[in-house]
Amino acid sequence: MPALLRIGRTLRRTLLQAIPTILGIVILNFFLLQLAPGDAADVMAGEAGSATAESMAALRSRFGLDNPVLVQLGHYLNNLAHFSLGFSPRYGMPVADLIAQRLPGTLTLMATALVIAILLGVVLGSLMATFAGRIPDRLLSIFSLLFYSIPSFWIGLMLIVFFSVKLGWLPSGGAGTIGSRLTGLPAILDKARYMVLPATSLALFYVAIYARLTRASMLEVKNQDFVRTAYAKGLTPFGVTARHILRNALIPITTMAGMHIGGMLGGAVVVETVYSWPGLGRLAFEAVMGRDFTVLLGILLLSSLLVIIANAAVDIIHAWLDPRIGAR
């Protein structure tokens, strides 16, 4: 299959490029974090309310914070080479375990939000393109502008007010019913109920982007000659849109979606805070406040990996969507 060959070639190129990228990200982040005032010992001492210079020095030497910066970097890279993300002084546990606890929550939240955003965005964008310049297009344009400009924390709060407080349909926070001991399908349904509001608040901003992008992209493709050919074959307008316009219009959307995966992690910080969702975003936020740089570095490393994987996925999707891309 030439399609598989194309995809394989794309994948190999992406993987080879990923290694230096990740190394660069780790080193750059490490130095950036050194610029922040204070360290974990300062925060812990501050929270304890009283600390002597000796106890702080002891803390620092225990976590290796008293070493010169380059030595600390060397230690960190050495750890990484042994596939360890280091130890969190604040949580008192290995960073890898800490992240492993929180990663699934964030990944499901992001994936759900992205799927909602793309599906809804493409459907709405197609509608807008079909009715371009007429009432449905105008109305949807207003809504997409609204969602584009409203900050996600406010949407989150309003959704809670409406669906949790007024209507009482959906839980206002958390990731599952505590102590419910459900298994199998009921457990998944229970989780899904908790997922609806946070995923929606995270998705709405992106729905607006994809809807507008789909609209523009479809209107552009619509005027191309091969669309006229498709009509000349006697296809229905729906057939032409689904089989000829949409696939060509999807290419810029996948590009944007890939770029958004990194950005979504940032959005997740806010949404996870609003919905007390136990995810990576909140962990990152807490790590910054606690100057817990090992945890933060671990999260940054992981999110850069995520972005690289997302980019590879986009490359693969492109190679599949557009046969001309693999031919380079």
**Residue closer to another protein (CB basis): 221 or 264:** 221
Is 321 a binder of another protein (CB under 8 A)? Answer: yes
CA atoms lying within 13 Å on the CB side of residue 112: 19
Label residues 292-322 b or e (16+ Cβ within 10 Å = b). Answer: bbbbbbbbbbbbbebbbebbbbbbbbbbbee
Smallest distance from the beta carbon of 228 to another protein, in angstroms? 6
Nearest to another protein of 138, 228 (CB atom): 228
CA distances from 269 to 278, 280, 284 (A): 10, 8, 8
Q: Does 134 bind another protein (CB under 8 A)?
A: no
Query: Of 231-260, which residues contact another protein (CB under 8 A)?
Result: 231-236, 239, 243-244, 247-248
Locate tokens 């964008």: which residue? 125
CB of 226 to another protein, least distance (A): 4
Q: Is the Cβ of residue 239 or residue 266 nearer to another protein in the bound state?
A: 239
Please choose, out of 48-56, 189-197, 226-234, 256-264, the segment that lies near another protein by the rule CB under 8 A.
226-234
Which tokens hold the place of 100? 């492993």
User: Shortest gap between Cβ of 321 and another protein (angstroms)?
Assistant: 6
Between 2 and 92, CB nearer to another protein: 2
What one-letter code names the amino acid at 290?
A: G
- Cα–Cα dist 165/159, whole Å: 9
Applying CB under 8 A, what is the total number of residues that bind another protein? Answer: 23
| Dist CA 140 CA 152 (whole Å) | 19
Interacting residues with another protein (CB under 8 A): 2, 224-226, 228-236, 239, 243-244, 247-248, 321-324, 327
